[in-house]
Structure 1
Amino acid sequence: MALGVAMLLTACAATTHAKPAGSSPAARLRQDAEAIHALGISGVQARVIAPDGRQSVATSGTAALGTGRPVPSNGYFRMASTSKTLVATVVLQLEAEGGLSLDDTVDHWLPGVVRGKGNDGSRVTIRQLLQHTSGIPDGLPGYTTPKEYYQQRHNVYGPGQLVARAMAHAPDFPPGKGWAYSNTGYVVLGMIIQKATGQPVHQQIGDRVLRPLGLDHTRWTGTSATLPRPHAQAYQLFGPGSRVDVTDQIPVDHESLSWVTTTRDENVFLRALLAGRLLPPRQLAEMKQTVPVSAEVQRLWPGGRYGLGLVKRPLSCGGTYWSHEGGDGGYITLNGVTDDGRQSAVVSMSEARGDAPEHILSQENAAGSLIDHALCDAL
């Protein structure tokens, strides 16, 4: 299941990456990209933007297996769960305008939608949805085998259908009494945005975030199963000998997750957010108020904490950074930006090695090292 792999990747991040000495940041970026490719990952593209605006770019591997075609440095990839930060930004903008409150319950906006098997929308707040403390189960469909991929890749679900699937399961815990990553919770947030504004979430993201920042290479693709060109083909490793090209698919939550972007646009978005260009100071401070993650995730993700659609992570050189990883449809992306928004890095990999825990961990650690090195160069 692509979304499950993405969450496990997020959970397996390492936090102690030794910073190599005696090499320039650009050379180190190339070395780190090559190290990711050396794990067997088909394609890698990375971009770092320094405080003075200078950009360093590195690619490794191939855009399509068997062709030798290089990975495009400006290639599109599926944004996946990094779009949760876009959703959270819109919610906090609406809160700043008085359009909603973080303490509003789900039932205030969507009466009766979160109900059944012990789920109770009258007890779940918008803040809890944003920080994954709602207890709403993560019931999104997905695939775990090549056969399931080919059977399900073009299935289309509406937000109401996805939430109804989750309501067939008991909550993970009472609202506010735990932490568990919930894609379903962000589906509910998208529905609340539409109810509060009269427009779908993707339109609000476009009007409020993308156009003001000039992010014309971040696009909502809806129910299209393809990506704009150029892009690397995306692969997923399901098991020994079962590497499958999974580029052709419709994201399961197409309303919120059908975003494609580039390393340039993702850098610009994260920098603008942390620099205070998208949210007033009070709302940005709210976004950066973090809670502990679950004990299971904390064991694999030392020092990581979750805010409102943002993850706070420690740097090996001291200090912290902000990020939100994404993984879906074979594309796995890590990113990071310093607290002042001045140094940022994004690495996108066009293969998900989800067949074994050790492969997931090695992929995450290699990509995490690239982000850590890139951000420590600015400190």
Structure 2
Amino acid sequence: MPVSRRRAVLAVTTAAALALGATACGDSAQSAPSPDAPIQQRLDAVTERGIPGAQLVITDPDRGTRVLRAGVGNTATGEPIPDDARARIGSNTKAFVATVVMQLVDEGTVDLDTSVEHYLPGIVAGNGNDGNRVTVRDLLQHTSGLTDYLAPGGAKPEDVKPGQLRIAMNDEPVGHYTPTELVRIAMALPPGPAAKNEAVYSNTNYILLGMLIEKVTGRPAAQEIATRIIDPLGLKDTYFPGSGETQIRGPHANGYHRIGEQQVDVTVGDVSWADTAGAMVATGADLNTFFAALLRGDLVSQDRLAEMKQTVPFDRGPKDAYGLGLVRVHSSCGNEIWGHGGGIPGFGTSGGVDANGRAVTLTLNHIPMSEDSVGAAQQVVDAAMCAD
């Protein structure tokens, strides 16, 4: 579950990309051994490595959904993470965005191999950036070469709140941003080399995809995600925050982020800077439902799903791992797992679905920052996917 050590923001988590669901299993202390005891031990180990709390939601087609948890959801009160806790899901948002784009491809509204310039004329331009050389497929697969607007040390245009995002990456608060402002920040930075056979992760790609969705449908990407995915699947605890919304709706754990030597509560905040690259909120159960439906072919045609599963090497994960908004990994027991994952200050999630329809989502209320904690989180996901 590789996460940038310095800039753990909108990081993709690729441990054993999973998703989960929700019945209840209670706290880590169990009165009698259960089949989930080995998984619970792995979950407990995560909270022994500086992560306040962890929740694992497992959904099996034949067993339903169950929830395991460890540690605390609030370090001040000692309360556990609620079984139906909402969390900021970071880059899992990208899988929702990619699904909407692929639905538009199914409908004949969008062509994957048409340039971004065709759909968003004049937006990708300046400092060597050229929308004529970038296709919709490149945005989905991170093969565009466009620099991440969150890149540290980049020059910021004077008309786009100069410096604020750079400050944010150094763990200071951020202001409110529009997608256009975020793209302008990226366009002030020269592109990297565009490698059509390697995914070089850039949140800029998915901000542009959100803009593309709005341009071709005439409706905001958040609305399209709601009407095309959230509402049909009955994801009652999943939503895209409204403009200026800072609180997490409904039951949730507090999210924490290390700033210097302190662990700071960052639950409340404006995440407009993440937008269609990572602003959404969901429960583990809803993420399981979404990824399971997507991988069954309930949301896009089989042809489009096959394209989503065509992968290239990934600069933040294992070889041959990144498709079109989906990440592929293999568990230690040989299962092929598809999902995405995400990290945003306060929360880290990893999730996905195997060929048998088992869906798992691990949610932490602090992004793992050390190799030890990252490895412990990976082992939770792996154990859940390989359990009998």
Contact 2:11-2:90 at 8 Å conserved across structures: no
From 272, 275, 279, the counterpart of 2:293: 272
Contact 2:16-2:382 at 8 Å conserved across structures: no
From 332, 335, 350, the counterpart of 1:334: 350
TM norm structure 2: 0.86
Which AA in structure 2 matches 1:38?
Answer: E
| Greater share of helix | 1
Contact 2:10-2:274 at 8 Å conserved across structures: no
Which AA in structure 2 matches 1:134?
Answer: S
Give the gaps of 5 or more residues in structure 2: 18-32, 151-164
Identify the residue that residue 158 of structure 1 maps to in structure 2. 178
Tell me, yes or no, if structure 1 residue 134 matches structure 2 residue 157.
Answer: no
Tell me, yes or no, if structure 1 residue 46 matches structure 2 residue 56.
Answer: yes
Q: After superposition, what is the alpha-carbon deviation per residue over 1:161-217, rounded to whole angstroms, capped at 9, x for unaligned?
A: 100100111111136264310101100000010011000100000010111100010
Q: How does 1:25-40 map to 2 (within 5 A)?
A: 25-40=35-50
* Structure 1 residues 95 and 72: CA distance shift in structure 2, 3 A: same
How far does residue 227 in structure 1 lie from its aligned partner after superposition? 0.3
Q: How does 1:108-257 map to 2 (within 5 A)?
A: 108-140=118-150, 141=165, 143-146=168-171, 148-149=172-173, 152=174, 155-174=175-194, 176=196, 178-222=198-242, 223-239=244-260, 241-253=261-273, 255-256=275-276, 257=278
How far does residue 226 in structure 1 lie from its aligned partner after superposition? 0.8
Identify the residue that residue 19 of structure 1 maps to in structure 2. none
From 335, 358, 364, the counterpart of 1:343: 358
How far does residue 94 in structure 1 lie from its aligned partner after superposition? 0.4
Q: How does 1:39-118 map to 2 (within 5 A)?
A: 39-118=49-128
Distance 1:2 1:184 in 2: 20
From 304, 325, 343, the counterpart of 2:341: 325
How far does residue 24 in structure 1 lie from its aligned partner after superposition? 4.9
Distance 1:175 1:116 in 2: 19
Contact 1:14-1:302 at 8 Å conserved across structures: no
Identify the residue that residue 7 of structure 2 maps to in structure 1. 4
* Structure 1 residues 79 and 116: CA distance shift in structure 2, 3 A: same
Q: Secondary structure at the match of 2:189?
A: coil
Contact 1:14-1:365 at 8 Å conserved across structures: no
Q: After superposition, what is the alpha-carbon deviation per residue over 1:2-36, rounded to whole angstroms, capped at 9, x for unaligned?
A: 9931466637x489xxxxxxx85422232222111
Which AA in structure 2 matches 1:84?
Answer: K
* Structure 1 residues 186 and 100: CA distance shift in structure 2, 3 A: same
How far does residue 79 in structure 1 lie from its aligned partner after superposition? 1.4
- Cα RMSD after superposing both structures: 2.1
Distance 1:25 1:302 in 2: 30
Alignment size in residue pairs: 353
Contact 2:124-2:187 at 8 Å conserved across structures: yes
Identify the residue that residue 287 of structure 1 maps to in structure 2. 308
Task: Work out the percentage of aligned pairs sharing the same amino acid.
Answer: 40
Distance 1:100 1:63 in 2: 42
Which AA in structure 2 matches 1:324?
Answer: H
* Structure 1 residues 247 and 48: CA distance shift in structure 2, 3 A: same
